[in-house]
Amino acid sequence: MTPMSESHTRDLTIEWHGQSAYTLRGGGTSVLIDPFDMSQRPAGMSSIRFEYPQTPPQAVDLLLITHEHFDHNGASIAAGDPHTVRSTAGRLDTPAGEVVAIAAEHDPEAGTQRGPNTVFVFTVGGVRICHMGDFGQSSLRPEQQQAIGAIDLLFIPVGGGPTIDAAQAATITRALQPRWVVPMHYGNEYVDFVAPPDEFLAEFESVTRFDTNSAELADAPADGALHVLHLAPPQA
């Protein structure tokens, strides 16, 4: 039984900026996760397509950065001086309450290829959320799953390449048993170095497709089954 089974609250707006970048707002709290700043794109990325619209600058209460790659660590996007949790592990007090930051790896070789990655677990608007960043391990370790615990909403990479692929993501999703799962970090008209989400979406019976890059969780199915929420990419 997940945390929301007691409170029944779903005060959460999800806005997808592309890749793994989201703004979450609910209960008077705002969280920005893994923004990217296109002005900081390394010259070495010219061989691949990464052309999402710029993540818009915004004021938030909390900034979370899962790892230090260009397409995830655009801290300058967060206006003002938000509380920042950046590429670390532990149980941390923040304006959004406790954030559980869980050490993970960006690759299946103990981080020796692409470095560390942080899995974040936190609550916004009564919704217990897990954002897996660029999780690249071949599987979820038991101690990581225990640290994640019961969650309502899961953000998970599904495109393969530098992260887990669709089949691995589906296995982890079923192990964590969220109420809703949002696929991220996949190929589309803006990105060509990861696979599209189709294989992951095909793994599940219930897929709710949103016409825009923003969704109210209150509009999502809530019958106790697992539902995939598929947001549209942001438009320039």
Looking at residue 4, its pLDDT comes to: 56
Nearest to 71 by CA among 150, 186, 166: 186
Domains of the chain: which residue ranges?
12-230
What pTM was computed for the model?
0.94
Residue 204's CB is within 10 A of a number of other CB atoms, namely: 16
Percent of the chain with pLDDT over 70: 95
The pLDDT confidence band at residue 98, using thresholds 50, 70 and 90, is very high
- 3-state SS assignment for residue 82: coil
pLDDT, position 3: 60
Q: Answer yes or no: are the C-beta atoms of 125 and 10 closer than 8 Å.
A: yes
Greatest Cα-to-Cα distance within the chain, rounded to the nearest angstrom: 49
Using the predicted structure, report yes or no on whether residue 174 has a pLDDT greater than 60: yes
Of 40-44, 121-125, 173-177, 221-225, which gets the smallest average pLDDT? Answer: 40-44
pLDDT at 7 over 50: no
Query: What is the third-level CATH fold of 12-230?
Result: Metallo-beta-lactamase; Chain A (3.60.15)
Q: How confident is the model at residue 187 (pLDDT cuts 50, 70, 90)?
A: very high
Q: Average pLDDT of the chain?
A: 92
